[in-house]
Chains A and B, each alone.
Chain A
Amino acid sequence: MTPEQREERFEKFASVLIATVTILAAITAFLQAYASNEADRADRQAQDFSIRATTTRVNGALEFSYDWQGAFQTWRELDLQAASAEQEGDALAAERFRRLQDHIASLSPLLNPPYFDEQQNWPDPARYEAELYLVEATRLAEHFAAQAELSNAWSNIANVFVIQLTLLTVALSLYGLSTTIRGMVRWLFVGVGSAIVAFNLGWMAVMLIVELPELPAEAIDAYAQGVGMAYQGRDAEAIALFDQALAIQPDYANALYERGNAYFFLGDYQQAVADYQAAREAGRNDVTVGWDLGWTYYLLGQFDQAVLVNAQVLALDPTLIGIRMNQGLALLAQGRFDNAQLEYQQALDEAVRQVNQARSTGQQPPASLWYYLDAGAADLESLLDQINGTPKPWTQAPPPDLVQADFARLQAFAQEHIKRIKEMTVALEFTGQPPPGPGNANVSAFRFGQEIYDQQGNLVRFDEYQTFEYGVDEIAIWFDFTGIPPGAQEVWKIYRNGFEDQSLRTVSEWALESSGKGVKYITYAYSNIFIFAPGEYTVELYIDQQLVQRGSFTVAGP
């Protein structure tokens, strides 16, 4: 064979090679177009679901706003008017208000079965909201998330095919160039080009069998129904629905997390931990899940794990005051007092920073800040109640036998930090600054009771009680005081069953002398309708943001 013939033969070989790779490029281009189209389609559906989820939620909230604050508020006003008329013995007026109530009840489903409990004379807003919009909004939001994930997956595949097209272009260029040169180098070009083509073929095969993140609609439906049940506090039914969702999609992270919450509220902390961990492994490795997981470990007395998870969450977001306090609490339970002290200090410093930062720009700190500061103190109190063997129905704390710290030292630490946190909360809320140094105010222990007056309005005696009978509508608090400057800020906070009843909070300036005897009334006697609800009440007095006294009393049940 002459060199010319050999040359011609090579050129023919190269041209067939080029034509063959062109087919491969066309197939790759088709697959890229397909993946790109699917990504666009999923992206559009995700956006549509997102818009519809938002609208459903907003519309539902609007409608519920009418039902609650339009219809129910009117109904409730009439109920109170009827009760007042009954107390005054005006049966005619009471009957009139009751008939009006019935008329108003016809205007809203919230005031009728199955949403209204005739025995308790109160609606079930959670059930109404869940059925009105929450389940549907959750379903749409889940579809949005699923479609967004699918869109990302398709986009990634489309991008891979773009890379493959680029590589095939390189291979085609090498084949083309091989026809312009002679000798062994041309075979090198052909070899490299063919290696690229072979690599591309393998990669293409992998992309064709890659699994897409598709979440079945049946799983989403069951999950959304479960969220609706959980919202109503029907945790066992919620778990059954989450089980259904997980039977269809075992790695459904949101369902795992919500089932963990349902187990938590049922008190099954072990199962809750298992679900939270599974949710994290399935992709929900976020602050919310970590927060709940760390707290549940703490309640189980698994302090090492609690500290580890809290640290992971704080690494994600070091500004979280609530979890910083949880970390302090877990370290305290371990007996690592210095570390706990550091965490509490950082939490309070962060609170000061957030308040200052917000107010320096004319804004307000998040409302949750006050909640988490209050909760930080309440959690310390719960731990104290637990180790003292006096847990309350609302106490959340680990079993006392698992607490590793020296109890006496823990008591002192907790008492000191409860006071610090509470004073910081009041100071930040009312002045935006940390509390000033200790003042001279001194207030004796509170004496709770009822003042008895004669016909002329003269005080006859003070009947002191620790437990008041059901039906009491006014409680007097007697105390002695010294060292309170006139005009000092005076804040009274009343807690019922561990939570502040803000309707009983009073803020004023000290109007008495700097020392003497004082009396504070907590009262519903301004009307003939209300009485104190049964429960344990704690009263706190702050003078110039210093917690100067606190005491507790109980109101018995009927």
Chain B
Amino acid sequence: MKNPERFKNFASIMIAVVTVLSGVAACLATFAATQAGDADFEGLVASIKAQEADIVNRITVFEHYRAFTAYQRYNQLGNLLWEEAANADPALAETLHRLRREAWGVAGGLQYVFFPPRYINRDGSYDLKREFDELWADAAQQDDLTPEPYFSRADALRDRNLLLSADLIILAAAFWAFNLAQVIENRLKYLFVSLALLLTLAGIAIILLAQLIA
């Protein structure tokens, strides 16, 4: 009469252990879901900052390019007037030179104030991409502009949450098997307790494995 009592006590203790393990798994799953939400939020913040930087930089670059266009208009006008003056009679040449000086003066005034001449290429074009990339690099030094790592982390935490949720099924099955072992009076109870022990060990392994994700 002593052995059945010991067996039932063992099964009861194991049921309690499985219940505690289920609580731990549920708690960790909830924690992972919360962390995933936080990571999503951080990713969206980074995404918004990145888009903001993109827009602000584009405004800056195209403001400069607009000024560069006006610069080109006057600078090239000065060049053409210079060419025309070279072939004109002296009186007309003086007029053309006056116009040329005026045009180049305007061009010079524009480049001193309204756009950075650093981005003018050797062929006279404006390096929009270089200016944009440099401004982007500046913005990236000041803020985190890369949302992808946060989103990846959120996805991994969701995977952890899902794994732990699945673990609850295994632990519930262990709980069921221990319960059955407790109520069965014949040798079959050893089969169920063995199954329950295996499921419990698997449940513990999954809890540990889930912590390795993310």
| Contacting pair A51 B51 (CB below 8 A) | yes
Contact for A26 among B51, B125, B168, CB less than 8 A: B168
In the bound complex, what is the Cα–Cα distance between A22 and B26 (angstroms)? 14
| Contacting pair B84 A33 (CB below 8 A) | no
Asked whether any CB of chain A lies closer than 8 Å to the CB of B27, the reply is: no
| Contacting pair A29 B65 (CB below 8 A) | no
Q: Is the interface of B mostly helix, strand, loop or mixed?
A: helix
Cβ contacts under 8 Å, A33 to chain B = 29, 33, 161-162, 165
In the bound complex, what is the Cα–Cα distance between A47 and B48 (angstroms)? 10
| Contacting pair B80 A99 (CB below 8 A) | yes
Asked whether any CB of chain B lies closer than 8 Å to the CB of A313, the reply is: no
Asked whether any CB of chain A lies closer than 8 Å to the CB of B116, the reply is: no
| Contacting pair B80 A29 (CB below 8 A) | no
Asked whether any CB of chain A lies closer than 8 Å to the CB of B213, the reply is: no
Which one of A61-69, A290-298, A391-399 contacts B?
Answer: A61-69
Asked whether any CB of chain A lies closer than 8 Å to the CB of B66, the reply is: yes
| Contacting pair A19 B62 (CB below 8 A) | no
Q: Mark B41-55, 1 if CB is under 8 A from A, else 0.
A: 001100110010011
Q: What is the CB-to-nearest-CB distance from A5 to chain B, in angstroms, rounded to a whole number? A: 12
Interface residue range, chain B: 35 or more
Contact for B33 among A26, A37, A47, CB less than 8 A: A37
Cβ contacts under 8 Å, A19 to chain B = 172, 175-176, 179-180
Query: Which of A519-558 touch B at CB < 8 Å?
Result: none
Asked whether any CB of chain A lies closer than 8 Å to the CB of B81, the reply is: yes
| Contacting pair B180 A26 (CB below 8 A) | no
Query: Which of A1-59 touch B at CB < 8 Å?
Result: 12, 15-16, 18-20, 22-23, 25-27, 29-30, 33-34, 36-37, 40-41, 44, 47-48, 51-52, 54-55, 58-59
Contact for B58 among A12, A62, A100, A104, CB less than 8 A: A62
Which one of A70-78, A215-223, A238-246 contacts B?
Answer: A70-78
Asked whether any CB of chain B lies closer than 8 Å to the CB of A182, the reply is: no
Q: What is the CB-to-nearest-CB distance from B118 to chain A, in angstroms, rounded to a whole number? A: 18
Asked whether any CB of chain A lies closer than 8 Å to the CB of B17, the reply is: no
Asked whether any CB of chain A lies closer than 8 Å to the CB of B59, the reply is: yes
Query: Which of A227-270 touch B at CB < 8 Å?
Result: none
Cβ contacts under 8 Å, A16 to chain B = 176, 179-180, 183
Cβ contacts under 8 Å, B151 to chain A = 44, 48
Q: What is the CB-to-nearest-CB distance from A531 to chain B, in angstroms, rounded to a whole number? A: 27
Asked whether any CB of chain A lies closer than 8 Å to the CB of B154, the reply is: yes
Cβ contacts under 8 Å, B55 to chain A = 55, 58-59, 62
Cβ contacts under 8 Å, B76 to chain A = 99-100, 103
Asked whether any CB of chain A lies closer than 8 Å to the CB of B36, the reply is: yes
Asked whether any CB of chain A lies closer than 8 Å to the CB of B155, the reply is: yes
Cβ contacts under 8 Å, B65 to chain A = 66, 70, 107
| Contacting pair A74 B180 (CB below 8 A) | no
Q: Say whether, besides A15-B182, A37-B33, A30 and B66 are in contact (CB < 8 Å).
A: no
In the bound complex, what is the Cα–Cα distance between A54 and B54 (angstroms)? 12
Asked whether any CB of chain A lies closer than 8 Å to the CB of B77, the reply is: yes
Cβ contacts under 8 Å, B168 to chain A = 26, 29-30
Asked whether any CB of chain A lies closer than 8 Å to the CB of B169, the reply is: yes
Most buried by B among A25, A33, A41, A107: A33
| Contacting pair B80 A96 (CB below 8 A) | yes
Query: Which of B160-214 touch A at CB < 8 Å?
Result: 161-162, 165-166, 168-169, 171-173, 175-176, 179-180, 182-183
In the bound complex, what is the Cα–Cα distance between A107 and B75 (angstroms)? 14
Cβ contacts under 8 Å, A402 to chain B = none
Asked whether any CB of chain B lies closer than 8 Å to the CB of A92, the reply is: yes
CB within 8 Å: A-B pair count = 128
Asked whether any CB of chain A lies closer than 8 Å to the CB of B130, the reply is: no
Most buried by B among A19, A29, A71: A19
| Contacting pair B155 A100 (CB below 8 A) | no
Q: What is the CB-to-nearest-CB distance from B162 to chain A, in angstroms, rounded to a whole number? A: 6
Cβ contacts under 8 Å, A47 to chain B = 44, 47
Q: What is the CB-to-nearest-CB distance from A485 to chain B, in angstroms, rounded to a whole number? A: 49
Query: Which of B132-174 touch A at CB < 8 Å?
Result: 147, 151, 154-155, 158, 161-162, 165-166, 168-169, 171-173
Cβ contacts under 8 Å, B166 to chain A = 30
Asked whether any CB of chain A lies closer than 8 Å to the CB of B69, the reply is: yes
With CB as the reference atom, state the residue of chain A lying closest to B177: A19
In the bound complex, what is the Cα–Cα distance between A23 and B176 (angstroms)? 8
Cβ contacts under 8 Å, A62 to chain B = 55, 58-59, 62
| Contacting pair A37 B80 (CB below 8 A) | no
Contact for A20 among B58, B169, B176, B183, CB less than 8 A: B176
Asked whether any CB of chain A lies closer than 8 Å to the CB of B98, the reply is: no
Q: Say whether, besides A29-B165, A30-B168, A104-B72, A44 and B40 are in contact (CB < 8 Å).
A: yes
Cβ contacts under 8 Å, A100 to chain B = 73, 76-77, 80
Cβ contacts under 8 Å, B93 to chain A = none
In the bound complex, what is the Cα–Cα distance between A74 and B68 (angstroms)? 12
Most buried by B among A26, A59, A104: A26
Q: What is the CB-to-nearest-CB distance from A66 to chain B, in angstroms, rounded to a whole number? A: 4
Cβ contacts under 8 Å, A29 to chain B = 26, 165, 168
In the bound complex, what is the Cα–Cα distance between A54 and B47 (angstroms)? 12
In the bound complex, what is the Cα–Cα distance between A70 and B26 (angstroms)? 61
In the bound complex, what is the Cα–Cα distance between A16 and B173 (angstroms)? 11
In the bound complex, what is the Cα–Cα distance between A66 and B47 (angstroms)? 26
Cβ contacts under 8 Å, B37 to chain A = 40
Contact for B165 among A12, A30, A40, CB less than 8 A: A30
Cβ contacts under 8 Å, B21 to chain A = none
Asked whether any CB of chain A lies closer than 8 Å to the CB of B106, the reply is: no
| Contacting pair B172 A22 (CB below 8 A) | yes
Most buried by A among B58, B126, B171: B58
| Contacting pair B43 A44 (CB below 8 A) | yes
Asked whether any CB of chain A lies closer than 8 Å to the CB of B24, the reply is: no
Asked whether any CB of chain A lies closer than 8 Å to the CB of B70, the reply is: yes
Contact for A23 among B33, B54, B73, B172, CB less than 8 A: B172
Contact for A52 among B51, B80, B84, B154, CB less than 8 A: B51
Cβ contacts under 8 Å, B180 to chain A = 16, 19
| Contacting pair B33 A36 (CB below 8 A) | yes
Cβ contacts under 8 Å, B84 to chain A = 92, 96
Cβ contacts under 8 Å, B80 to chain A = 96, 99-100
| Contacting pair B54 A55 (CB below 8 A) | yes
With CB as the reference atom, state the residue of chain A lying closest to B68: A107
Cβ contacts under 8 Å, B158 to chain A = 37, 40-41
| Contacting pair B165 A74 (CB below 8 A) | no
With CB as the reference atom, state the residue of chain B lying closest to A65: B62
Q: What is the CB-to-nearest-CB distance from B53 to chain A, in angstroms, rounded to a whole number? A: 10
Can you list 8 A-B pairs with a CB-CB distance of less than 8 A?
A19-B180, A23-B173, A30-B168, A41-B158, A44-B40, A59-B55, A96-B81, A104-B69
**Additional A-B contact list (7), CB under 8 Å, known A16-B183, A41-B158, A59-B58:** A26-B168, A33-B165, A40-B37, A44-B151, A54-B51, A55-B51, A59-B55
- Sorted nearest first, the 10 A-B pairs with minimum C-beta distance are A26-B172, A12-B183, A19-B176, A33-B165, A19-B179, A55-B51, A70-B66, A30-B165, A26-B168, A26-B169
